[in-house]
Amino acid sequence: MLVSLLAACAKPQTAQWPPGLLLSADRSALSSFLDSLAGLEGTPLARVAGEWKSALPQCAQIEASAPGADPHALLASLRCADPAGPLAAFHAARGEHALALAFPGVGDARATALADLDGGTAHATLRWPEPDGRLADLLPGDAPAGPDRLAVADRVAHGRARSAGPLDLAAWVPSGSQGDRLFHLRDRVLSAALLDGTLELALYPPELGAAMPRAALALGVRQTDAARAAAGRFLDQISEMWRLRRAPFSQDSATGACLPDLHLLPELAPCYAVARDALVLGWNEASLRHALGSETAAGAEAPADAALPARFDLDLAKLRASDLALAAKLGREPAALRWPWRSVRATAGRESSALRVDVELLPERAS
């Protein structure tokens, strides 16, 4: 868990580094960050942070190494840094950054990270070797994700990305699998021939009196008429298979349909609509109407990061408020969890063919 939260990176020379999982860090900076994580009382993350804090040696610079990818072995190997030891080249690659990590790999084909930590604030970038196969097409590439399409108002979480290659979601559903048999997910509604590679997800607080957050997913399409026909066939198949009522949906120029009687999960009554250049799916009608509301991002000034291949934002204050509302609706004791940050921001794209992910944790005191 600790390893996945740290980062900010360049492309260092890895040939002189020992194999396995490596750590080089400034003890004071790492200790302060662990204190922030420990504030998440009662969580596994807080427990792990406490274990790391207790194991930190009493010296300004520390290091650790493990032959495999086991973080427990890395923790057990924590020691004072030896500037002339086996990790000397790795310490040099860290430079002025607070922390450096290297993951197991062969030669230059290993993930590396550098991080700047200031108390609860963290600026991080993870650089992963060039992905291959079907996953390489699915991950963000070089092309901009473009402007948002879903409502800006009251977002709890939002992400938008453009895949490096064809966004062929149908190819990920094994032929003859349960998903294929029950939902016909290999239908053309999920094929690369229909989708343009952009994907956007938005999460909003629950509607007044509801328990579940409102959620919507927008898939960019090449041709709206083809998307409308494919989505219609998909719903026809589901309705016929499970004998479900199909209700029409319309809002402004967006048209589609809902399955109001499909209650597999709390408040799940999925809806879809074709709006402008996207096929938009909603958890229920309230989700879809909010996502396509009058304050949608379409037509508004493009965000400063619209040129990035992928971006993600999470408002932790709104997330906590939604958690409290859900607990009250279900009659449960609200969680005491209070995040030490107000938001999480992330961006991703390709750098010299490798995947680069930048993450920023902003504390409540930040402006």
Q: Write out pLDDT tens, residues 93-120.
A: 999 999 999 999 766 678 999 999 987 7
Rg (CA), the chain: 23
* CA 91 to each of CA 58, 167, 297: distance values in angstroms, whole numbers, following the listed order: 18, 40, 45
In a domain, 348, yes or no: no
d(C-alpha 223, C-alpha 277), whole Å: 7
Q: What is the mean pLDDT of each run of 10 residues along the chain (367 residues)?
A: 38 73 97 91 91 97 94 97 95 95 81 88 90 86 93 95 85 66 58 88 90 93 90 81 88 93 85 93 96 67 78 92 78 72 94 92 70
The β-bridge relationship of strands 247-251 and 214-221 is unpaired
Q: Does one domain contain both 125 and 155?
A: no
Structure tokens at 324: 């409290």
- Residue 3 is predicted with a pLDDT of 39
Residue 354 domain flag: no
Q: Which of 172, 220, 214 minimizes the C-alpha distance to 199?
A: 220
Residue 340 within any structural domain of the chain = no
Shared domain for 47 and 155, answered yes or no, is: no
pLDDT given at position 184: 59
Q: Are strands 112-118 and 99-102 parallel, antiparallel or unpaired?
A: antiparallel
Residue 153 and residue 300 share a domain: yes
Query: Does the residue 250 lie in any domain?
Result: yes
Q: How many domains does the chain have?
A: 2
Q: 281, 310, 339: which is the final residue of a domain?
A: 310
Q: Which domain holds residue 102?
A: 2-129
235 assigned to some structural domain? yes
Considering 310, 341, 356, which residue would you say is the last residue of a domain? Answer: 310
User: What does the pLDDT read at residue 7?
Assistant: 38
Q: Is the same domain home to 226 and 257?
A: yes
Q: Do 156 and 285 fall within a single domain?
A: yes
Sign of the alpha-carbon torsion through 100, 105, 107, 111? negative
Domain boundary among 129, 150, 178: 129
Which secondary-structure segment (H or E) carries 2? Answer: helix 2-5
At 84, the amino acid letter reads: A
Is pTM, for the whole model, over 0.75?
Answer: yes
